[in-house]
């Protein structure tokens, strides 16, 4: 095992935490929130020192990064990075125990959204911003490991290589170099776009930041006890619904559109997902909740498929069950949304249909293309999709 290369890549994401520490320090100073300032300074010193040291140790060994090293890097990152993120919680004035602070940081880093903070209104704004930032960092980390490791042809757990933007090579270093700047740029500027859209619809700037970090990462943290305190009009609900499409669709979609490299055949998964959103919105409106406003239903559907789960109301059990089912589906293979992923369902349904069709017409040629593109679905892709589905059922 190449420990130095593992240090290098952990160090890069540790330095990212130091950047958000600086953001919180500046915010605390500008708005006179001095009570928790020391916790962000300590986090900055630790993350900057450790990140720099780790990058220095592994600077000459980062190319030698095989599959075992990658898996070790992912596991250690999910344990170590939340440890640094937990420092401002633990050192805050709210008497948060170390275990609760670590739980809150892991919940943010994994974009799960569970929280031990029962009274959000009493939490100071810098800590709420830090809480939302942890989701942003976790979403970015999730994209990197999806494209670089768990979505590669070596592991195939999440077959991101089947669609546009997925890394096709076996060399993590080459994939990392090719995608590092691109992913950070798309992630950063998309976040700025979402913040701009929120402020355009008269959402307070700090709330826009917090909601943007939640939206982009498919997280579940909100800056108030009730989302309806912020999203209190149909226009705001609509724009939040539209921005929740971003973590559902292929992460590289907007990049391809801006760089004029967009091709419909490379983004048919996105077309299917957009169609799925509007079809389910229509079905729920026509047959399940005809008295509900259609804009609200669009928001509930996008929130569910993106697996963010944020909501402006508490649904009754009979309707929430449908939204839970949508959360199971999930979005694109290359996105911050979780769930089983729509493409896996597509592979399972198409391959099952082909097997049944083959029984009736065994001499016919079977089309194994994914979304009628040039990408072929092989037997191993089907078996792994089926295995993931069975594990989920268990």
CA atoms within 13 A on the CB side of 205: 1
Contacts of 157 (CB under 8 A, 6+ apart): 150, 151, 384, 388
Residue 318: band (very low, low, confident or very high) from pLDDT cuts 50, 70, 90: low
pLDDT of 169 strictly over 90: no
pTM, full prediction: 0.93
- At residue 276, the pLDDT reads 95
The average confidence (pLDDT) of the chain is 90
Q: How far apart are CA 159 and CA 26, in angstroms?
A: 41
Nearest residue to 307 via CA among 339, 347, 284 = 339
Question: 204: pLDDT confidence band, cut at 50, 70 and 90?
Answer: very high
Using the 8-state DSSP alphabet, how is residue 313 labeled? S
With beta carbons less than 8 A apart as the criterion, state whether 117 and 220 touch: no
Residue 364 has a pLDDT of 65
Is residue 46 scored above 70 in pLDDT?
Answer: yes
User: How many other C-beta atoms are found inside a 10 Å radius of the C-beta of residue 122?
Assistant: 9
Share of the chain above pLDDT 70, in %: 96
Residue 75 to residue 192: CA distance in whole angstroms: 30
pLDDT of residue 365: 65
Q: Is the pLDDT of residue 56 over 60?
A: yes
Domain-by-domain residue ranges, the chain? 3-186, 342-393
Least confident of 48-52, 160-164, 343-347: 160-164
């Amino acid at each position: 095992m190449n420990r130095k290369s593992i240090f290098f890549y952990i160090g890069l994401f540790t330095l990212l935490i130091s950047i958000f520490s600086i953001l919180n320090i500046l915010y605390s100073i500008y708005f006179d929130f001095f009570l928790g300032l020391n916790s962000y300074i300590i986090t900055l010193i630790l993350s900057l020192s450790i990140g720099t040291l780790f990058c220095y140790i592994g600077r000459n060994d980062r190319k030698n990064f095989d599959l075992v090293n990658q898996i070790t890097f992912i596991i250690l990152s999910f344990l170590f990075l939340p440890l640094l993120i937990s420092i401002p919680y633990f050192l805050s004035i709210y008497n948060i125990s170390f275990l609760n602070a670590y739980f809150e940081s892991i919940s943010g880093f994994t974009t799960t959204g569970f929280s031990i903070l029962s009274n959000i209104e009493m939490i100071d704004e810098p800590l709420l911003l830090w809480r939302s930032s942890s989701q942003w960092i976790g979403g970015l980390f999730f994209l990197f490991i999806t494209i670089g490791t768990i979505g590669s042809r070596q592991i195939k757990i999440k077959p991101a290589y089947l669609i546009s933007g997925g890394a096709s090579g076996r060399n993590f270093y080459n994939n990392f170099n090719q995608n590092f700047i691109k992913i950070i740029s798309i992630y950063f500027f998309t976040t700025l776009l979402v913040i701009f859209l929120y402020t355009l619809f008269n959402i307070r700037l700090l709330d826009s930041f917090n909601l943007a970090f939640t939206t982009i990462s498919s997280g579940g943290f909100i800056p108030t006890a009730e989302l309806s305190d912020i999203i209190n009009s149909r226009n705001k609900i609509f724009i939040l619904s539209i921005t929740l499409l971003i973590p559902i669709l292929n992460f590289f979609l907007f990049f391809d559109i801006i760089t004029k490299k967009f091709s419909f055949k490379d983004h048919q998964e996105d077309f299917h997902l957009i169609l799925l959103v509007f079809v389910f919105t229509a079905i729920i409106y026509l047959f399940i909740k005809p008295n509900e406003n259609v804009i609200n239903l669009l928001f509930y559907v996008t929130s569910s498929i993106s697996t963010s789960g944020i909501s402006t109301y508490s649904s009754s059990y009979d309707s929430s069950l449908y939204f839970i089912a949508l959360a199971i589906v999930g979005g694109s293979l290359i996105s911050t949304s979780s769930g089983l992923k729509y493409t896996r369902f597509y592979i399972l349904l198409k391959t099952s249909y082909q097997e049944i069709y083959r029984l009736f017409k065994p001499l016919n040629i079977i089309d194994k293309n994914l979304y009628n593109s040039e990408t072929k679905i092989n037997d191993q892709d089907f078996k792994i999709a089926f295995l993931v589905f069975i594990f989920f059922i268990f």
